Amino acid sequence: MSLEALARDFAEEALGLLDTAEDALLAFEIGGEGATARLRTLRRALHTLKGNAGMVGAEVVQAAVHVLEDLAARLEDDPALVQDLLQGIDCLRQEARQILDGRPVDQVLPAVRAIAEKDREVTPALPLSLTPYAETALRVPQERVDRLVAAAGELVVHETRLQRALASGSLAEARIAGDALQRAVRVLHDQVLRLRTVPIGAFLVRYRRIVRDEALRNGKRAELEIIGTDVEIDKAVLDRLGEILGHLVRNAVVHGIELPEVRERAGKPAVGRVVVRASTHGSQVVVAVEDDGAGIDEEAVRQRARELGLDDSRDPRTLIFESGVTTASLSRSAGRGVGLDAVHKEVVRLGGSVEVQSERGAGTRFVLTVPTSIALERALLCRIADEIYAVPAASVVEAARIAEGQIRWMGAGKALEHRGTFFPLVDPETALGLSTEGEYAVFLQAGATAALRVDALLGQQDFVFQALDPALGERAPVDGAALLADGAVVLRLAPDRLVALAAGRGEVA
């Protein structure tokens, strides 16, 4: 193994050990039963890290960890050292990421020594990264590799069987072998996808640090509870979900949880509660971020919407996802923070959805539903004029035959009346440069709902979409491409952009 590969392996394991140390440290700070065991976990993680650093010749890192070990040894007598240890862990984590980036490590020892000697203050992680560590590496359990090898072996067996059947001219045997080969390919595909899945709990534990730091910084008290740590999710999905969940957890503490004295006057415990709950429903993962704080002030949301010229008759739980609604001034009164428009956009781009439940004075709950994996995506094929497009099935509410009499002009655009409700109609000529008077409509859900008029519905298929060049811009009506069985390219429509366009909130790039 090369020195570079050895250094990367060390850095990847170091990040995992630092996560373990940080989680044990935060649990120790909370106290209660098991505090001594958590302290042992902290010391064991630091000792292992120091030993690993020595084995790869990372003497600077080894010396820095030794400083933290000294602090940990005094922790029972001086619990305030928790802050120094957290800052030291931040420094080591930053240095480990520098190793992964191929940059030299030379500042960690003086930085850690300075932390141990200076006055304590609450600071965030340096910098606080909410994406999973070791971004280019995956640790795969041996049993998954064994299953993959077995599936590949089955594939070879059935391929040989098919070749023999074709050589002998036996059509019946060839069909049987072909069916078996197809099943083996599906099994192999499933096993390959499982290689990319990771337990979500190993990532969610880092939100304890966010809750702890933000509560201290804002004069509050809060604890994080994590439920569903064993739920598995595609690492590619988790990479994109990390920042989103980080926004929601931070907002729950900063803008949701009240000050201790306010909570006590309201008959609540002084310590606020933030819960991140993960579960699996079929091919989707549902992650809920909830708090027992102030809830959403719906009137404040409507007032802000009026100031921005938005329709304030809409449900406040959808208005908070509009850009500009959740400003700092609003969040102080309404109990929510900034960034919710970005949260919504990213979840929709993942092929998912966001729901909000809130009760004034009782708390708020954000429910994110995303695909377990984005490697394979089911899409509805439809024809518009002479072009075929793929619409993400997760965003399709319904597809129905329509009549010309259902279409009305409403304001500056057209709307489609369906089941007693009018839906904004996507104009294919404006969005795609195509003219159609198709007999079908595909109803797209992306926060709001809009109807896309199409000429034909061609059924659903599974695709592996490739992202398009970012140079197309964020307003382009398409955001991916895949190959059809005949080798033709099919473009993936972007539901969020089409819905925004139909509602008059966007324009085509």
Are 425 and 444 contacting, i.e. CB atoms less than 8 angstroms apart? no
For residue 140, the model assigns a pLDDT of 76
| Nearest to 225, CA basis, from 82, 33, 363, 27 | 27
Confidence check: pLDDT of 360 > 70: yes
**What pLDDT, on a 0 to 100 scale, did the predictor assign at position 330?**
47
For residue range 364-412, what is the model confidence (pLDDT) as tens digits?
999 999 888 776 788 999 999 999 999 998 889 999 999 988 998 887 7
Q: Tell me the sheet residues that pair with 120.
A: none
| pLDDT surpasses 80 at 357 | yes
Q: Where do runs of H (alpha helix) occur along 218-335?
A: 235-251, 260-265, 298-307, 316-319, 328-334
The pLDDT of residue 287 is above 90: yes
Q: Which pTM value belongs to this model? A: 0.67
SS3 content of the chain, % helix, strand, coil (to 5): 50, 25, 30
**Sorting pLDDT into bands at 50, 70 and 90, what band is 219?**
very high
Judge whether residue 348 has pLDDT over 60: yes
By three-state DSSP, how is residue 133 classified?
Answer: coil
Gap between the Cα atoms of 9 and 467, Å rounded: 30
Binned at pLDDT 50, 70 and 90, residue 127 comes out as very low
What's the pLDDT band for 321 if we cut at 50, 70, 90? confident
Q: In this model, does residue 337 exceed pLDDT 50?
A: no
| pLDDT given for residue 117 in this prediction | 65
Instruction: Quote the mean pLDDT of the chain.
Output: 84
- CB-based burial label for 291 (10 Å; 0-12, 13-18, 19+): buried
Residue type, 391: V
